[in-house]
Chains A and B, each alone.
Chain A
Amino acid sequence: MKKLINSVDAIVTDTLRGVAAAHPSLRVDFENRVIYRRNAPHQGKVGLVSGGGAGHEPLHGGFVGYGMLDAACPGEVFTSPVPDQMIEASKGVDGGAGVLHIVKNYTGDVLNFEMAAELCADEGIEVASVLVNDDVAVQDSLYTAGRRGTGATLFVEKIAGALAETGAPLAEVARLAQEVNERSRSFGVALSAGTVPAAGKPTFDLSDTEIELGIGIHGEPGRTRTTHREAREIARLAMDAVNDDVPLSGDTLVLLNGMGGTPLLELYIMYGEVAAYLEEKGARAVRCLVGNYVTSLDMQGFSVSVCRLTDELTRLWDAPVETPGLRWAADRPHG
């Protein structure tokens, strides 16, 4: 394993040092491992807190800033953060209007955020939670921990963040976050697994002729393995899975997301195929992002997330945002 690290045990601490050095708009609490907007809390504004294992950068820390998150708590690599971090973050962003926890549906994240929300309530902080579960690769939710939270987490953080900036109350921000989740679906494909530094080798093996369909973002293998094929066909496999779950139509927001180890060149090839697929189905990608946003260390592959837009969601997506990972101004609407 070759990694640009000092030591396996120092990865999260060293990353936070870099984040603090690079982004004066953020304040990093090293002891509690929380990344805040520099001026948090903002009085009268609902505070948005998210968190999850490290290894998905820029998610979540890179989305802290105006128009998106107020704080993010990174756990160890691919490991949920602990309740103490979430409680500290919630206290730090509570401007009197309550706090929204944005939680990806993974057992660890759910359990730790649940405990944190209970303890926050004990301390008088009003907390609402939204569970993101957009991954259509998980088919029988009855016999699993349920659909995973993946790429749509970015949509939820951006759109709920924009609404929170308008001074909307907690219940309203939570409702909208929920709506974004319900309107979004994702599917991921890996060409090779990532290497968790503590393990030192890839979490699963794929030969040169195989791809893994329906992967999550923690290096876990997907549901099925199939033969590698051309980009157009892989895009079709992914988009069919999405379209079979909720038929695509109308205006959509698309995230063509790299898993960390895939060149942008290939991501654009995939985006071209996805856009063509949407057109074929009578839908339109009116807003999009192409790049590495919800990664899985150095995994090679991509995920595609589609959100069926409404006028309100489009307007909030276009609202200004100023974070290390996502930024645009009001007079230059994105897309």
Chain B
Amino acid sequence: MDTSFFLAWIKEAASAVQAERDHLTQLDAAIGDADHGANLDRGFAAVRQTLADTPPQTPGGVLVQAGSALIRKVGGASGPLYGTAFRQMGRALGDAPEITPADLVTALEAAQEGVQKLGGAAEGDKTLVDAFAPAVRALAQAVRDGAKLEDALETATAAAQEGAQATVPLQARKGRASYLGPRSVGHEDPGAASTALIFAALRRAAGQA
């Protein structure tokens, strides 16, 4: 995976967020404040802009620059959280020009650690971690088993989607939805839903490579 692979990922993620903008906002209206889709869409638009204006030369550079733009533009909790995820990934990749599947796993593990440290959420708190963590675990396992990258990412995407769906019966313990207490049960967490979109975008980027 080279720089253009990661640029393709970001582009796919931005398109997916744009296409699902209203759906994400609806999920957020149920248990949050009805702005998740709009905020992420604005953030990814800014990411595409900065990547077009000053194209980074390495995979790590793409991700750090994308993360910084998300932190600068999104606001709310999702800006710092997704921004930190991309920045930690980018930092973990350093300035390597070519990334192996094992590197990708390490980078995603660093991203997950960064998100959990910042937000303080564990699995089961009904946050994006509920999609992120199983996806990273599934990817790590598939890569260890020697799966093809596309197949490994297919598995990871499925795990993210299942993880997002599995937030429906949970009661939120972090973020704005936690104020609803038991009334947060019965709704999919919007952050978990957007995380599943971002993993699906990664899978599509691999299909193009």
Contact = CB atoms under 8 A, between A and B. Distances in A.
Interface string B50-70: 000000000000000000000
A111 interface: yes
A76 B118 contact: no
Interface residues of A, number: 37
Nearest to B78: A108
B183 interface: yes
A79 interface: yes
B166 interface: no
A221 interface: yes
A218 B29 CA distance: 11
B176 to A, nearest CB: 6
A5 B124 CA distance: 40
A196 B179 contact: no
A172 to B, nearest CB: 30
B76 A79 contact: yes
Contact of B179 (A112, A138, A199): A138
B207 to A, nearest CB: 32
Contacts of B73: 82
Chain B interface main SS type: helix
Contacts of A115: 71, 80
Nearest to A143: B173
Nearest to A106: B176
Contact of B181 (A80, A144, A148, A196): A144
Interface string A244-266: 00000000000000000000000
Contact of A111 (B32, B81, B172, B181): B81
Contact of B175 (A53, A145, A204): A145
Given A79-B75, A203-B33, A221-B180, 15 more contacts: A53-B76, A79-B33, A80-B76, A83-B72, A108-B75, A108-B79, A111-B77, A111-B118, A144-B174, A144-B178, A145-B178, A198-B38, A203-B34, A220-B179, A222-B179
Interface of B: 25, 29, 31-35, 38-39, 42, 71-81, 118-119, 171-176, 178-181, 183
20 contacts: A53-B75, A53-B76, A76-B75, A77-B35, A82-B74, A83-B71, A83-B72, A107-B176, A108-B79, A143-B173, A143-B178, A196-B35, A198-B34, A199-B35, A203-B29, A203-B34, A218-B33, A221-B180, A223-B181, A223-B183
